[in-house]
Amino acid sequence: MDNFLQKGSYMDCGMFIQSIMLSAVEHGLATCPQAALGEYPDIVREELSYAEDKLLLCGMALGYEDKSEIVNSYRTPRKELDNMVRYFS
Ligand SMILES: Cc1cc2nc3c(=O)[nH]c(=O)nc-3n(C[C@H](O)[C@H](O)[C@H](O)COP(=O)(O)O)c2cc1C
DSSP element (H, E) containing 34: strand 30-34
- Cross-strand pairs, 32: 61
Instruction: Give a yes or no: residue 15 inside a domain.
Output: yes
Would you say the CB of residue 71 lies under 6 angstroms from ligand 1?
no
Q: Quote the pLDDT of residue 45.
A: 94
User: Which of 11, 34, 62, 69 best tests ligand 1's pocket when mutated (most atoms within 8 Å of CB)?
Assistant: 34
Instruction: Give a yes or no: residue 85 inside a domain.
Output: no
Instruction: Give a yes or no: residue 67 inside a domain.
Output: yes
Alpha helices in 27-67, H assignment, sequence order: 41-48
Longest CA span, the chain: 51
Q: Which residues contact 5 (CB under 8 A, 6 or more apart)?
A: 55
pTM of the model: 0.84
Q: Quote the pLDDT of residue 59.
A: 95
Query: What is the domain extent for residue 56?
Result: 7-76
The tally of CA atoms less than 13 A away on the side-chain side of residue 88 is 0
Instruction: Give a yes or no: residue 53 inside a domain.
Output: yes
Q: Which amino acid is at 4?
A: F
In the predicted model, what is the mean pLDDT of residues 66-70?
96
How many domains does the chain contain in total?
A: 1
